[in-house]
Amino acid sequence: MIITAEILHRIQFAFTLTFHYIYPPMSIGLSLALIFMEGMYLATKNVIWEQLTKFWVKVFAMTFALGVATGIPLPFSMGTNWARYSRFVGDIFGSLLGAEGFFAFLVEAGFLGILLFGWKRVSSKMHFFATIMVAFGAHFSGLWIVAANSWMQTPAGYRLATSSDGVQVAEVANWWQMFLNDSTLTHVTHVLLGAWMTGAFMLMSVSAFYLLKKRHHDFSKKGMKLGVLMGLGACLLQLISGDNLARNVSVYNPEKFASLEGVYETKPYTPLYVWGWVDSQNKTVHGLPIPGGLSFITYGDFKKPIKGLDQFPKNHWPWVPVVFQMYHIMVIFWGLMVLAALGGTYIWWKKKWSAAPRWMLRFISLAVIFPQISNIAGWYTSCMGRQPWVVYKLLKTSEGYSATIAPSQVWVSLTMFVFIYLLFFVLFLILYDQKIKHGPITEEEALPYRDIFEMEKEEKKNG
C-alpha cells in the first residue's frame, strides 16, 4: 500500500480528532452529573454530596482544559491540510463553528470560573446557576460541532456558487435547513447520550475502585447510585437512538448502511451479524448471522431486502471491512456497558456495598474505557462510512486536501502531533490517577465551603 499525501492528511486529522474526542464526552457527561450532585447538596445539605461535587468539579476542569488544548489545532488543520475542503464549506461552517466558540469559551469557560472559585464568593443559588450554565454551554458546544458534521452527511439548505477565481463553493441558502438538516437531531441525540454514558461510567468506575479498596464508603455509595441511574438510563435511550440513527442512515446514506453489515448483494432475508469479519476480495462476511435480522429491524419485514453495494458504483464504496468492524466494536462495547450498569444495579439492589463480588467491582472499574472505545468507534463508522465523500455527493475526499503540501511536510507535523498529544494523554492519566488516590475532601476540609450557607441563614433570620 502506497502512503499518498491524501492518506497522510487523513491519518493526521484522524489521529488528532481521536485524541481530542477523549475529553469532550467526559466534560459533557460530568457537567450533567454535577447538576445532580450540587442540587442534592443544596436540597439535603449532606456533606457527601458536597464531597462528590468538589471531587468531580476538579476532574471536569481538567477534562475541559485538555479538550480545549487538543481541539484548537483541528480548525487550523482544516486550513493547512484541507484547504480545498475549507473553501467549499467555509460559508456553511462559519456560523456553526462561530456559535460553538461562543458557547464553549464565553458561556462554558466564563461560568467555569465561578464554578471553580466562587464557593465562598457568591451565593449558593448563584453558584448552582453557574453549574447549570457550564453544563448548558458544554452541551450546546457539542450541538454545533455535530450539526456541522451532520451537514457533511446530509447536506441541505445550500446552493452551489462559483467564486471569482472559478472555484465552486457551497453557500447558505436557508440557515435553518442547513442547521437542522436531515440527520442533525438524530446525530446530536446519539452523541450526547454517548457523552452521558462517558460521565456515568467515570462515576461508577471510581466508586467501584473505592469499594474494592474499602475506602470512602458513603462517597462511593452515592457516586455508584448516580452513575447507575445515568448510565443505565443513557444505555437504554441509546438503544432507541441507535435504531433511529440507523434508519436515518439507511435512507440518506445507503452505501454506508450496506457497509455496516457487509451487504454486498441485494437479496431477501438480509442478515444481521452478531460478530464477524469481511472478506472484501470474495465479497462475503464470515461470522454469526441472524437471518433476516437487518431486514426486520429496518423495515419490520424479515423478507424485504436491504439495498446492497451491488446497487452503487464500486468507486463509491467505503472501506467495507473497517466500517463493518468499527460498527460492531461500537455495538459490542455498548453491550459491555449495559452489563456493567446491571452489575452496579445488582450491588445497589442487594445493598452489597461492602460485600460485592470482587470480579464485578473490577469489571465496573474497567468500564470507564467502554464508552470511550464505543464513542471513537462510532465516529470512525460515521466518517469512514461516508467515504469516498468528504461532503456526501458534493465533494470527494481526494478533492478536498491541500495538494500543495508535500508528504514530507505532513510527516513532520504528524510526528509532532503524535508526540504532543501522547504527552497530553499521559499527563491526563497521571493527574487523574493522583486525584483518585487522593480521594474526596474530608469533612474538615469541606467545612470552610459551607460557611456561605450559614451566612445566608443568618441573613434571612436578621431580615
What phi, psi does 439 have (nearest 5°)?
Answer: 80, -175
The answer to the question of residue 78 being in a domain is no
pLDDT at 451 (0 to 100): 53
Place of cell 475541559: 64
Residues 110-147 pLDDT 10s: 898 999 998 888 988 999 999 999 999 999 888 999 99
Q: Is residue 226 part of a domain?
A: yes
Using the predicted structure, report yes or no on whether residue 450 has a pLDDT greater than 80.
no
Q: 29, 41 in Cβ contact below 8 A?
A: no
Q: What value does the mean pLDDT of the chain take?
A: 91
Which is nearest to 57 in space by CA: 107, 113, 100, 19?
113
The predicted structure's pLDDT at residue 456: 52
Q: How far apart are CA 206 and CA 320, in angstroms?
A: 37
Beta strands in 93-242 (DSSP E): 158-162, 168-172
Q: How far apart are CA 198 and CA 238, in angstroms?
A: 12
Report angle CA 433, 435, 441 to the nearest 5 degrees: 155
Q: How many CB atoms lie within 10 A of CB 227?
A: 26
Looking at residue 449, its pLDDT comes to: 46
Amino acid letter, 103? F
Q: In the chain, what's the furthest Cα-to-Cα distance?
A: 83
Q: What is the pLDDT of residues 338-350, one digit of tens each?
A: 999 999 999 999 9
3-state secondary structure of 286: strand
Residue 61 near residue 116, CB atoms below 8 Å = yes
Within 10 A of 162 (CB to CB), how many other CB atoms are there?
A: 9
User: What are the phi and psi torsion angles at 371 (to 5°)?
Assistant: -65, -30
- In the structure, what pLDDT confidence band is assigned to residue 107 with cuts at 50, 70 and 90? confident
Distance, C-alpha 324 to centroid of its chain: 20
The alpha-carbon radius of gyration of the chain (Å, integer) is 24
Tell me which residue range forms the domain holding 292. 187-405
Instruction: Note the pLDDT of residue 454.
Output: 56
Look at residue 94 in the predicted model and tell me its pLDDT.
Answer: 86
Distance of alpha carbon 251 from alpha carbon 223, whole angstroms? 41
Other residues' Cβ atoms within 10 Å of the Cβ of residue 454: 10
pLDDT digits (tens, 9 = 90+) for 382-398: 999 999 999 999 999 99
Closest CA to 230 of 20, 35, 50: 35
So what's the pLDDT on residue 99?
Answer: 79
- At 2 the pLDDT is 67
Is residue 396 domain-resident? yes
Which three cell numbers mark 100?
460553538
Q: Encode pLDDT of 189-216 as tens digits.
A: 999 999 999 999 999 999 999 999 998 9
Decide if pLDDT at 109 tops 90: no
Helix (H, G, I), strand (E, B) or coil at 170: strand
Read off the pLDDT band of 354 (50, 70, 90): confident
Is 44 within the bounds of a domain? no
Quote the pTM value: 0.92
Task: Give me the percent of the chain exceeding a pLDDT of 70.
Answer: 95
Q: Is 393 left (phi over 0), alpha (psi -120 to 50) or beta?
A: left
Which of 242, 240, 247 has its CA nearest to residue 298? 247
pLDDT for residue 4 is more than 90: no
Q: What mean pLDDT is predicted for residues 88-109?
A: 82
Give pLDDT tens digits for 8-22: 999 999 999 999 999
3-state helix, strand, coil in the chain (%, to 5): 75, 5, 20
Return all residues near 237 (Cβ < 8 A) that are at least 6 apart.
Answer: 193
pLDDT of residue 129: 95
Write down the pLDDT at residue 458: 61
pLDDT average, residue stretch 319-345: 96
CB-CB contact of 141 with 118 (8 Å): no
Q: Does residue 20 fall inside a structural domain?
A: no
What percentage of the chain reaches a pLDDT higher than 90?
Answer: 76
Q: Which three cell numbers stand for residue 161?
A: 456558487
User: Does residue 370 form part of some domain?
Assistant: yes
CA distance 403 to 396: 14
Question: What average pLDDT score do residues 407-422 get?
Answer: 92
Question: Is residue 446 pLDDT above 60, yes or no?
Answer: no
**Number of domains composing the chain:** 1
Helix axes 73-81, 407-438, angle to 10 degrees: 170
Question: Is 48 within 8 Å of 218 (Cβ atoms)?
Answer: yes
Residue 308 lies in a domain: yes
Residue 317 dihedral angles phi and psi, to the nearest 5°: -80, 140
In a domain, 87, yes or no: no
